[in-house]
Copies of this chain bind each other. A is one copy, B any other.
Amino acid sequence: MYRHSSALQFHAKPERPDAFFASRLQELVGGQFGEMTVMMQYLWQGWNCRMPGKYKDMIMDIGTEEIGHVEMLVTMMARLLEGAPSETQAEAAAANPALAAVLGGQNPQQAIVTGGAAMPTNSQGVPWNGGYIVASGNLLADFRHNVAAEAQSRLQTARVYQMTDDPGVKDMLQFNLARDTFHQQQWLLGIEQLIEDGFTDGIEDSLKDEEKTEPARTFYSFHDDSTAHEGRWAQGTTLVGDQQISFEQGRPLADDVNEVPAPDPLLFATYDGSKGPGKPGNAGGAYAQGAQNLFSKAKDALTPDD
């Protein structure tokens, strides 16, 4: 359950409106790594965290903070859009190249759809979607993604920061930069804690005993004259398991070619018969085949005396 208060976590006061910049700032609201993504990602991870205690509480704390970050950005946007061009401006633009730039670069939906406010979209107008978020239930894999999301988010914030010289906007973005710095570390420290608590060795390796040995320690090159062998990733020992990394040219590791079966004739794929007739489409797969055996037995049981 959540509660709200109207105070913002940090101020979001531009010195003056700037509709041109507001269209760029959308990327930090509704982009792949905007505030909506981290808000929803952490809420979702927190709700589904399987362990009560410090991990779950930590994720919940950040997720709740991020709701407030979306609020801050949306507030900032409405202020940046104050007095934005919403009327025909042909004559004014004719006398004013910078107004022309504003008009050209403006996000039309910020006027037409929201009436002078942010959109839940990125800087190109693509709606935010749930396909951006990651919440697998595996904390190592998710924390890895959280570090990445904070790094990408901070990088984009730094790029957007250069696009304004408004002191009020810069002040808020300096706060955002700082949080992204802290949060990158927080998730890295979360991984350290997971290792210390014995949940992982830092590499996602579920079913470790099933995996092939050689491909788990070999760099394959598929590039003429690649210099990739010079990097640490192609020499020395693996981070887990203490194996020697080897560097090899990519080659077929087993005997198979891209060759697909004769088609079911009822699917009308083009086929010359060279592989014999296609299996008709009622074989039903492994499940059905297993089942047919079982049902044969049941039928035998039903009619023992015939």
Report the Cα distance A253→B236, complex, angstroms: 40
Name the distance in Å between A27's Cβ and chain B's nearest Cβ.
5
Across the interface, do A151 and B144 meet the contact criterion of CB distance under 8 Å?
yes
Report the Cα distance A158→B74, complex, angstroms: 24
* Residues from 53 to 95 in A contacting B, C-beta threshold 8 Å: 53-55, 57-58, 60-61, 63-65, 67-68, 70-71, 74-75, 78-80, 82-95
Residues of B within 8 A of A218 (CB): 182
Across the interface, do A9 and B88 meet the contact criterion of CB distance under 8 Å?
no
Report the Cα distance A79→B259, complex, angstroms: 9
Knowing A6-B224, A27-B109, say if A287 contacts B98 (CB, 8 Å).
yes
* Residues from 219 to 239 in A contacting B, C-beta threshold 8 Å: 219-234, 236, 238-239
Report the Cα distance A287→B166, complex, angstroms: 11
Residues of B within 8 A of A145 (CB): 145, 148, 151-152
Name the distance in Å between A235's Cβ and chain B's nearest Cβ.
9
Across the interface, do B11 and A255 meet the contact criterion of CB distance under 8 Å?
yes
Across the interface, do B57 and A228 meet the contact criterion of CB distance under 8 Å?
yes
Closest residue of chain B to A108 (Cβ to Cβ) is B123
Closest residue of chain B to A170 (Cβ to Cβ) is B210
Report the Cα distance A262→B298, complex, angstroms: 37
Name the distance in Å between A126's Cβ and chain B's nearest Cβ.
6
Closest residue of chain B to A13 (Cβ to Cβ) is B256
Across the interface, do A83 and B280 meet the contact criterion of CB distance under 8 Å?
yes
Option from B193, B290, B301 in Cβ contact (under 8 Å) with A232:
B193
Option from B155, B204, B260 in Cβ contact (under 8 Å) with A206:
B155
- Can you list the 3 inter-chain pairs with the closest CB atoms, starting with the nearest? A104-B104, A124-B125, A98-B291
A-B contacts, 30 of them at CB < 8 A, read A1-B7, A1-B68, A2-B4, A3-B4, A4-B223, A6-B223, A6-B257, A8-B252, A16-B286, A17-B285, A58-B219, A61-B228, A75-B260, A85-B283, A86-B163, A87-B163, A93-B290, A99-B101, A112-B160, A116-B267, A122-B125, A126-B126, A138-B155, A154-B206, A158-B268, A177-B210, A177-B216, A181-B216, A185-B239, A193-B231
